Amino acid sequence: MFKEVNPKVSFPQIEEKIIKYWKENKTFEKSVESRPNNKPWTFLDGPPFVTGMPHYGSLLSSLPKDVFGRYWTMKGYRVRRVWGWDGHGLPIENKVENALQIKRKKDIEEKIGVKKFIEECKKYVREVSQEWEWYVDHIGRWVDFKNAYKTWDFDYMESVMWVFKQMYDKGYIYKGLRVSLYCPHCATPISNFEVAMDAENYKRVTESGTIYKYPLLGEKKSCLLAWSTTPWNKLATPALAVNPMLDYVKVEQNREFYILAKSTLKVLKKDAHKIIETFKGKKLIGKKFQPHYDFYKVEPGKKAFVVIGGKFVTAEEGTGIVTLAVYGEEDLEVMQKENIQMVFHVDEEGRIKNNVPKFAGMKYLAANKAVNEDLMERNLIYRDDSYTHSVAHCWRCGTRLFFNPQDAWYVNVQILKERMKKNNKPINWVPKHFKTGRFLKSMENAPDWNISRNRYWGSPVPVWECECQERFVPGSVKELEEASGKKINDLHKPEIDDITVKCKNCGRQAKRTPEVLDSWIEAGSASFAERHYPFDSFDYTQDKSASGKPEKLEDFFPPDFIAEYTGQIRAWFYVLHVIGTALYDSPAFKNVLVEGVILGTDGRKMSKNFKNYPDPKEMLTMYGGDALRLYLLGSPVMKGEDIRISEVEYRNQVRGMLLILWNVYNFFVTYANADQWSPSGQKTNNDSGQARMTNVLDRWILSRLQNITKLITRGYEEYNTSLVIESAWNFLNKDVSTWYVRRSRDRVGPTAPDGRDKNEAHHTLWTVLVEFSKLLAPIAPFITEEIFRNLTGQESVHLSSWPVVGKPVISESIDQQMQLARNVVEAGHAKRKGLGVKVRIPLGNLDVDIDGEYSIVQDSIWELVLGELNVKNIIVNNKLKYPKKEVKVSEEQLWKEGEIRELLRRIQGKRKELGLKPNDKIILTVPKEFADEKNFLMKRVLAKKIIFAKELKVSL
């Protein structure tokens, strides 16, 4: 006997019970330990930021990691699943700043103290990380929380130090002055890919697009016209640039002379103008101009206030003449090349420096209006218009960014690019278009990677520099301890800043460069650092105290699988690939699944301020984890497309897949128990078992199970969860529930004759449910666990092996015949509906016109059509097809049969309302007109007594 099934199911209650069972029985641990050490399937868990409670986006990435971990475990692989936390960098610093009411970066050192600030960061990551486990449990994810890797752990940071050392020694890391995006609030550089992760980091801004006049020295009333959107940069413009090959003109307008590119004449005011001269841009190179401001000194040997050539100058926007300042990437590069005086007039907080007259102390954006007003008064502005463009903002604090020259540490991406593109070729991208689309473009357009930050909470840049320029770069804590003579217990600031080493070159004490590493280099080092590679990498199971053999690099790198959302294409996927190429000239991963973005119900980014998404905890409590998994894993978001979160779609998974599966399960257990049937040591029907089935329905559904096993397996192998869920849904809903169970109801239960057919009906549906539970287990781990354990008595579906399909023993013709029959049934139901004739009313004939070889359809299949459509005869192409001899009935008989069918339906409804089991006998009260059917009714509805009265009643 099977455990009874409650038809009024609460999936969240079942899931709570299963979570408890898994924990008490250590089912997850057993699933890992039961697989051989020498057959690993590896995946790398992209660590979430420790910044508050999880949202649908962070939960989404957990789902495919769990799905494919479960699948490959069932396939016999050992799948190590360790959680990770990303706890360094601006995300955490911003949270702590808010908690401590810190408004400026300088306050950390001047008011709080770096030591206290670091202690608060440590406290924050400890507290927040503990609150995630509830969510992870309730979405059904199996992962090792106990041994989670943390980017702020000592061991992890040591491996990051080793990664830095490897790249430095290979010549991929250098220190230099380059322009990077910069956040004046955080007072640190920001990587391009950090901003590019989310479209929301770019905001449309309307501000001045100004054409400035730069008077040429020695040429009366002649001005160069240069367009710019950064008035604050006009305070220090030591050079202008033109394209040597472009055509330029000198025009006269209102008794003044202006020089600009010929193709940009449209920018001139409407006043009449006259072209005086046309020439190539190279003619302007070397000409001197009058600067707007000259507060800065020009160093000996440096050039200033001169026109230079630059091929980067175009005439597509502006005037074909560009103002140059150190706050532009191309500007700085050409200024260094041409030996132009460089002026840095903005401080680390984005304020104009004190040595700048009139504007000292102003925020650089606030200076825009003041500068333009000053230049307008001095007649140095030709025109000023509104200009709208997209501007980058800080991905953490939301402050507008500007390009700022930084003397910082960089990875030389340019010399790695070709190998990175080569290493991308063997990677399997899902969806495929990201491989040659966004990811390839991110590599092709990537600047050198600024890996240092002028902040506090992070891994230190492991470089000690001496005044004599000698550097010491340790690759391990042991190496640093030996060089410094001190025991290292913490690699964080400020302790690490107190460590000095004796310079091998001059004997003086070298100090550590003060920056910390970009947290993305930590994330990019995860393949190695999460195992503390290469220091003590062991094959741990679930307990780091367990001994194990040292792992080889090829045992875990590159990992078989990673998965994150589209924003990580230019972020985590990219930095993994940079480091994988730099260290081993290898792809950083073998398979990558790219998810889309989950937006709020209004199509905007999910935000508590917008109140545009249902609370994840409430939804999990109300509908359960399986429903969330089915909703998201079957949605377009798993194909890299964005979706809006929808509670309706979430809820529909309960009413759809889950409830239909539960109803089929309930039907089986109810009637199997009523018939006292049990598998009694039998196995699920394999290929050879199908052929022994006598009923065509059983043979057909087992054939369909075989086919759907192949299709679902293909879906998992291709990392296509949509295919898995779509295939499972079609099989369960269309094949099992709507057809097989519906047509098999009369084969089981107390009123059905005992014998081989009843036994095979039970055994077939038991087989279907057990095998289907295995197929769906990686997607919906809770409901399949409940069903599998009750039907088999085994410990867990997740400890079972994946179904294996051999050669089919049934001809495809059965599938084809059954499909033809179902098409006929569908058309017949549509015809009845159109005529307004209910199915309970029997009809004499069904006339069918079929093209092709209809004669191949077996009589047993036509019998199914006859029963489903409630007809007496099937006529195919004007010939009696089934039964062999025509059944002739009067209209009166047909109506009588219809009334009896309706009565049976109502009696079954009454039994259901009373919660009766199939073998519970009843006292039945029916109208007198059914007196002739007494014996039939008593047998059909298990009535121990029938009373004839006016109204229908059912009682025990």
Selected residue with higher pLDDT from 456 and 949: 456
Predicted confidence (pLDDT) at residue 543 exceeds the cutoff of 70: no
Predicted confidence (pLDDT) at residue 914 exceeds the cutoff of 60: yes
Q: For 272-283, how does the pLDDT look when each residue is reduced to its tens digit (9 = 90+)?
A: 999 999 999 999
Q: What is the DSSP string of 268-335?
A: S-SS--EEEEEEEGGGTTT-BB--S---SPPPTT-B-SEEEE-TT--SSSTTSEEEE-TTSHHHHHHH
Rounded to whole angstroms, the maximal C-alpha distance in the chain is 123
Q: For 648-706, how does the pLDDT look when each residue is reduced to its tens digit (9 = 90+)?
A: 999 999 889 999 999 999 999 999 999 999 997 666 655 445 557 889 999 999 999 99
Q: What is the pLDDT of residue 1?
A: 86
Predicted confidence (pLDDT) at residue 854 exceeds the cutoff of 60: no
The token pair at 204 is: 């449309």
Known catalytic residues are: 47, 86, 520, 568, 572, 605, 608
Q: For 82-137, how does the pLDDT look when each residue is reduced to its tens digit (9 = 90+)?
A: 999 999 999 899 999 999 999 999 999 999 999 999 999 999 988 876 778 899 99
Predicted structure pTM score: 0.88
Q: What is the pLDDT of residue 750?
A: 86
Q: What is the pLDDT of residue 539?
A: 44
Radius of gyration of the chain (CA): 38
Q: Where are the beta strands (DSSP E) in 366-520?
A: 381-392, 402-411, 428-430, 449-450, 452-453, 464-465, 471-472, 500-502, 509-512, 516-517
Q: Of 588, 291, 222, 538, whose CA–CA distance to 427 is shortest?
A: 588
CA 788 to chain centre: 30
- What are the residue ranges spanned by the domains of the chain? 16-169+520-599, 173-182+403-417+441-518, 199-394, 816-889, 902-955
Average pLDDT over residues 471-476: 96
Encode 434-452: b = buried (16+ Cβ within 10 Å), e = exposed: bbeebbeebbeebbbbbbb
DSSP, collapsed to helix, strand or coil, labels residue 387 as strand
* 16-169+520-599 is classed CATH 3.40.50.620: yes
For residue 527, give every residue at least 6 positions away whose Cβ sits within 8 Å of its Cβ, in sequence order, or none: 44, 533, 556, 557, 558, 559, 576, 579, 580, 588
Number of Cβ within 10 Å of residue 185's Cβ equals 19
Predicted confidence (pLDDT) at residue 540 exceeds the cutoff of 70: no
How far, in Å, CA of 718 to CA of 638, rounded? Answer: 12
The token pair at 927 is: 């109208």
Q: What is the pLDDT of residue 422?
A: 98
Average pLDDT over residues 32-50: 90
Count, in order, helices (H) and strands (E) of the chain.
Answer: 32, 32
Alpha-carbon torsion angle 812, 818, 819, 820, nearest 10: 110
The mean predicted confidence, pLDDT, of the chain is: 91
Predicted confidence (pLDDT) at residue 538 exceeds the cutoff of 60: no
Confidence band, pLDDT 50/70/90 cuts, at residue 549? low
Q: For 481-536, how does the pLDDT look when each residue is reduced to its tens digit (9 = 90+)?
A: 999 999 999 999 999 999 999 999 999 999 999 999 999 999 999 999 999 999 97
Topology classification of domain 199-394: Isoleucyl-tRNA Synthetase; domain 2 (3.90.740)
Q: What is the pLDDT of residue 74?
A: 98
DSSP, collapsed to helix, strand or coil, labels residue 21 as helix
Q: For 148-181, how does the pLDDT look when each residue is reduced to its tens digit (9 = 90+)?
A: 999 999 999 999 999 999 999 999 999 999 999 9
Q: For 769-805, how does the pLDDT look when each residue is reduced to its tens digit (9 = 90+)?
A: 999 999 999 999 999 999 999 999 999 999 999 998 8
Confidence band, pLDDT 50/70/90 cuts, at residue 559? very high
Q: What is the pLDDT of residue 542?
A: 39
Q: What share of the chain is helix, strand, coil (3-state, %, to 5)?
A: 45, 20, 35
Start-to-end CA distance of the chain, whole Å, equals: 24
CB 32 within 8 A of CB 80: yes
- Would you give the DSSP letter of residue 89? S
Predicted confidence (pLDDT) at residue 242 exceeds the cutoff of 80: yes
Task: List, in sequence order, every residue forming a beta bridge with 242; answer none if it has no partner.
Answer: 309, 321
Q: What is the pLDDT of residue 688?
A: 44
Average pLDDT over residues 834-841: 84
How far, in Å, CA of 510 to CA of 470, rounded? Answer: 8
Confidence band, pLDDT 50/70/90 cuts, at residue 144? very high
Work out the percent of the chain whose per-residue pLDDT is above 90: 72
Pairing type for strands 591-595 and 561-565 reads parallel
Average pLDDT over residues 576-602: 96
Selected residue with higher pLDDT from 694 and 352: 352
Q: What is the pLDDT of residue 487?
A: 96
Q: What is the pLDDT of residue 541?
A: 39
